Amino acid sequence: MKLNETLSNIRVNGDNKLVLTDMIDEIGDNHVLTSVETPMRKGAFDLSDDEKVAEIAEHFRSIMDILGLDLTDDSLKGTPQRVAKMYVKEIFQGLNPENMPQIALFENKYKYNQMLVEKNISFYSNCEHHFVPIMGKAHIAYISNGNVIGLSKLNRIVEHFAKRPQVQERLTMQVGKKLQEILGTNDVAVVIDAKHLCVSSRGVKDDTSSTVTAFYDGAFNDEKTKNEFLKYLELNTSF
């Protein structure tokens, strides 16, 4: 039984309420994902972006008030609107599929048949369990089967999936699978190395660790090809 089904089948009363709470806390504390797709409710886009901003601003104003902040202070009075606009139109804009960057494919006329590697793609995301930042680098490789895409579009694809509440494993798989879909090939690899502020600024408060996740498919399941890709990541490309 899937985790979501397990949670939904637990009756929230008496001792079972404690079991459900413990399971939910364990998922968040251990940063466990429940699906490869970002969990979205039905009707997620019934409201316009401006309507979402207005509603989030009101809710965030209530949060600030509950915390005891003085919302009449000049420094704070505009914060609810700023946060709401940031959520909808900046750091979580990747939730809306309409914001997926337009990708144009080009024929590989020069017959380049080796792997193409784009490394050190900087990204910023947010942990879906605590809504605090994830910061890292993505490294992408693919082998053309006849088509190529512009280099900057690789960055844009990473950025799109990063701009939503995320779990790093899901982010890695979403980028890999989208590239396969766009390029029409299974020969794709993605490695992500990231720092999670939910680990470094709360909980265990480990400021030195980072998390590495990988997606390998097609030719990259071959150890020789995979190792060639990983060797490229070791190159000093500082300019």
Supply the residues annotated as catalytic: 127-130, 168, 196, 198
Distance of CA 22 to the CA centre of its chain: 25
Joined tokens for residue 2:
């899937």
CA 168 to CA 31: how far, in whole Å?
A: 9
> How many of the other CB atoms lie within 10 Å of CB of 181?
11
* Residue 129, amino acid: H
> In this structure, what DSSP letter does residue 205 have?
-
> In this structure, what DSSP letter does residue 145 have?
S
CA 31 to CA 21: how far, in whole Å?
A: 15
Whose structure tokens read 């997620």?
44
Crossing angle of helices 168-183 and 151-162, rounded to 10°: 140
CA 99 to CA 104: how far, in whole Å?
A: 15
Alpha helices in 30-167 (DSSP H): 49-67, 79-86, 151-162
Joined tokens for residue 188:
């794709």
* Residue 70, amino acid: D
Phi, psi of 107 (to 5 degrees): -65, 135
Are the CB atoms for 190 and 215 separated by under 8 Å? yes
